[in-house]
Structure 1
Amino acid sequence: MKRQPTYLILLFLLFPILSSAQEKSYPNVLIILADDLGYHDVSYYNTPDIRTPNIDEIARQGIRFDNFYANSPVCSPSRASLLTGRYPEMVGVPGLIRNQVTDTFGYLTPGSQLLPALMKQAGYKTAIVGKWNLGLDMPNLPNQKGFDYFHGWLDDMLDDYWKHTRNGINFLRENGKPIIAEGHATDLFTSWAVDYLNTQIGSENPFFLYLAYTAPHAPIQPDAEFLAKVKAREPNITDKRAKLVALIEQMDDGIGKVISTLKANGQFKNTLIVFLSDNGGQLDLGANNGNVRDGKGTMYEGGIRIPACISWPEHIKPGTQSTEKLLLMDIYPTLAELAGLSVDHKIDGVSFASILKNSGSKMAPRPIFFIRREGGSYGGKISNAVVNDNFKLLQNTPTSPFELYDLTKDPLEQNNVIKTEEAKRVTLHRLLMKQMQKGGSVPWQKQEEQ
């Protein structure tokens, strides 16, 4: 009998171990998405009346992005961009998806390949806990879009953080099953995220967990314990601001519990944590967007600039910062690259993995676009903006005149130069019209069978 070389026998014996190691060579991924969190409603920007130690720790242990943008100043379009890597209008979600058919302005394009489905190609187990807001019926439910597991909220917002209904309807689900739960929604989402992480102990596959809080979206209903702490610490704070700060700090406390679970489970060292918001903060509810102009729903910087930070122990240098202009849609190709995946279909986002490795890396110049389609005073029409070469052209509502700002000289958007920078206006207007034409070719309502 012919003897096999010793090295072949050893390779055969080691193959299961090597295969397991290969499966775990990619990082676990935890995306934490806040809802309507103001650009400066985190204490790592030294905002004096708020304490977010757990979000701050993500920034301290990793990289902070000071020019990170949502693709839209409202919820659904930004979430569509995050999960598809595309401008939201290119996947049929230029506006909010709501449960009222007369007031919904998006329908996720059938066939869109979402990030969890892509990550599954690299062996990831995928889950979403919290807010979905990209469809209420098949085929646009989380489990049909690449998530192995869903435990959370289907619709846009809660009418009450304890009663868990919207327009009298319960949209809490575990996978496809309606569920009843007791407790504050923020705490429930934290608890369900912890439960999921515990199911992944000992798994040979990495996990992709998308934890999408509804906090601090209206209604501003913090737990009484957190509100009392804020009022005791900040005696001069207004009631409105105190409630918002308390709700944010309640969310931050939950984030701390999730991170503590990662550490206790031995998962933290190989977990990349991404923290983001879906748009800027709502000013009339007390949000702090720093000194940038305006807030949620607008095309000014306060509506689209968001807090963002990413950590990954031993891979991202702690305490680093980047001022490169990035968008939510850039998360998709970045995570794909880190998971060793090629993206073979059309996307608009660009990977910034090089910045995670070297915070001084620069992105290639590109125009970036923002959109919002809405009902009410918008009449179903759109507002939009484009930024190119650090000039920004925007139309803040469908009936407003265009405005032009030089963000290098005027980052607070106080000096409209549309009458003095004609060449820039023409260039940006052409870019915007071309983007509108492309987006206009994509249906944003469910297509009825003829």
Structure 2
Amino acid sequence: MKGNKKPNIVLFLTDDHAAWANGCYGNPDIVTPNLDYLAGQGIVMQNAFTPTPVCSPGRACLFTGRISSQHGVHDFIGSDPDTVDKNWMQREKLMPELLQENGYETALIGKWHLGQECIGKQGFDYCYTIGPDFPISHRGERIHYRGNEPVQRSGYMSQNITDDTIEYLRNRKDENKSFFLVSGHYATHSPFEGHPERLVEYYRRKGVDTFLKHANYPFGIQRNESLYPSRTDRKEALCQYYAGISQIDESVGRVLDELERQGILENTIIIYTADHGLNCGQHGLFGKANATYPINMVEEDIRVPLIFYAPNYLFSKQVRTEFVDHTDLFNTLLDLAGIEEMKSEKEKRNSPGKSYSCFLTNTEPYGGPWRDVQFCEYGPVKMAKWKNLKLVLYPHKDQNLLFDLDRDPDETVSFYNDERYQGVIENLRILIERHYAAYVVDEFNTQNYENLPRYNNIVAWKA
């Protein structure tokens, strides 16, 4: 690190922004000059994943460095009164708490979705968040919460989140302290309507319908789209989704400009990622893993964008291909901040993730080969991906799937019963069993999912 002061860290954590919906991941239709700049001048993690492809668990994995079978959040947290202000993370020590203990000021702006929605958040010195009502309109009147104080806001939510982010940067309590700032955007989430017309109309004229003719997903029942009317006109919904991405890109640019204006951009590590991915017509789906019964683990759900930018700290202009996920990001950010957990705390955390800071800084190599298997879970559904082979295991064995993405990149054919794949299926099954046996907390073992608390959309796990 440069100098004695720890680097500032700005983490953009967007809801539902899939990896495929980025120019730096190969999408030619997206207009995102600011994200493209970060990617071109920074580092792109080409194979970044979420450990659980739905909102609350994906976020919990990032902030705890632990998987759902450890922290116990297996599905999205609802907005009913019993769940809104419960602290779902109270038994965990979060990344912002560790940063606080090591001299950082911590701030959260925008979406949280881990409880404590109308009050101050665990581990954060400053909070200005969008509250508990999901899904919500992207434009109009809304109550935000500055700590415990409700504040009436109007206009576009993305612009409000950005205004609040810049307000925090301009009014930090102690300018001599390094800060950790989470800017949580929501514009890529449903409903797919209400984004700035100037952006939506651009994509309408561009004719973006790339994914809208794909075949239906053959391995589950699609959820009833009448529940989500903004998805019924799929071409319009895709244009709205892209407009939301462009609006977030504008927000990223405004924050970069403010950091530069204050002369602190060169002392700041910027990270852009998402809690999970999304389908916008791929596989005939418009939604994430819970767009089908039983839930799916298609690539569009589990892959997330992950971009690092900090030319003064990192070895820039790289594209890395290692399999990484949010538990790794937890450990990597602590490493970049120069924080070493006490041995007892590290053993208690038992994080499956590892720091890959050496890949980012071009320093001494990681101690041994990096893993070549990626695991994901959603309730009792478990997945292992090795190279381009992906095994998905369900409670009902007759639903198990094996995809060969080299032969079938659209995941339309399962090779689970193909004799040629039985050896790799058995190897991946053993790896899944060993992985979760090493990390699962008995209380949150989804083999007993019928007994877990009904705080969420748990029915999506079933056939």
Length-normalised TM-score, structure 2: 0.78
Alignment partner of 1:240 out of 231, 237, 240: 237
Q: Which moved more, 1:292-301 or 1:316-325?
A: 292-301
CA contact (8 A) 1:370 1:386 kept: yes
Work out the CA distance in 2 between the residues paired with 1:109 and 1:307. 25
Work out the CA distance in 1 between the residues paired with 2:411 and 2:268. 38
Say yes or no: does 1:371 pair with 2:377.
yes
CA contact (8 A) 1:36 1:278 kept: yes
Work out the CA distance in 2 between the residues paired with 1:367 and 1:306. 16
Q: Deviations over 1:66-122 (max 9, x none)?
A: 100011211111000111111122101111111137999x97353201110011122
Q: How does 1:15-26 map to 2 (within 5 A)?
A: 22=4, 24=5, 26=6
Work out the CA distance in 1 between the residues paired with 2:202 and 2:442. 51
Name 2:429's counterpart in structure 1.
Answer: 429
Name 1:340's counterpart in structure 2.
Answer: 338
Pair 1:324–1:156, CA change in 2 (3 A):
farther
Pair 1:210–1:418, CA change in 2 (3 A):
same
Instruction: Pick the structure with greater CA Rg.
Output: 1
Pair 1:152–1:399, CA change in 2 (3 A):
farther
CA contact (8 A) 1:74 1:278 kept: yes
Name 1:203's counterpart in structure 2.
Answer: 175
The residue type equivalent to 2:442 in the other structure is S
Q: How does 1:271-310 map to 2 (within 5 A)?
A: 271-284=268-281, 296-297=288-289, 298-310=296-308
Say yes or no: does 1:79 pair with 2:52.
no
Work out the CA distance in 2 between the residues paired with 1:65 and 1:28. 21
CA contact (8 A) 2:238 2:280 kept: no
Q: How many residues align?
A: 403
Name 1:42's counterpart in structure 2.
Answer: 22
Aligned residue for 1:350, secondary structure, equals coil
Work out the CA distance in 2 between the residues paired with 1:406 and 1:184. 42
The residue type equivalent to 1:442 in the other structure is E
CA contact (8 A) 2:117 2:132 kept: no
Name 2:213's counterpart in structure 1.
Answer: none
Work out the CA distance in 1 between the residues paired with 2:415 and 2:247. 42
Name 1:149's counterpart in structure 2.
Answer: 126
CA contact (8 A) 1:333 1:343 kept: no
CA contact (8 A) 2:111 2:185 kept: yes
Following superposition, the deviation at residue 302 of structure 1 comes to: 1.3
CA contact (8 A) 1:128 1:209 kept: yes
Q: How does 1:184-223 map to 2 (within 5 A)?
A: 184-200=156-172, 203-220=175-192, 221-223=194-196
Name 2:217's counterpart in structure 1.
Answer: none
Aligned residue for 1:322, secondary structure, equals strand
Name 1:355's counterpart in structure 2.
Answer: 359
Following superposition, the deviation at residue 414 of structure 1 comes to: 5.0
Which ranges in structure 1 are unaligned for 5 or more consecutive residues? 1-20, 374-381
Q: Which moved more, 1:329-338 or 1:392-401?
A: 392-401
Name 1:225's counterpart in structure 2.
Answer: 198
Work out the CA distance in 2 between the residues paired with 1:137 and 1:194. 21
Aligned residue for 2:375, secondary structure, equals strand
Name 2:69's counterpart in structure 1.
Answer: 89
Name 1:249's counterpart in structure 2.
Answer: 246
Pair 1:434–1:107, CA change in 2 (3 A):
farther
Work out the CA distance in 1 between the residues paired with 2:430 and 2:285. 25
Work out the CA distance in 2 between the residues paired with 1:384 and 1:366. 17
The residue type equivalent to 1:93 in the other structure is V
Q: Deviations over 1:195-224 (max 9, x none)?
A: 111123971111100111012100122122
Following superposition, the deviation at residue 407 of structure 1 comes to: 5.2
Aligned residue for 2:19, secondary structure, equals coil
Q: Deviations over 1:110-159 (max 9, x none)?
A: 32011100111221100010100001469xx653x200011012336342
Say yes or no: does 1:159 pair with 2:125.
no
The residue type equivalent to 1:188 in the other structure is N
Superposition RMSD in Å: 3.3
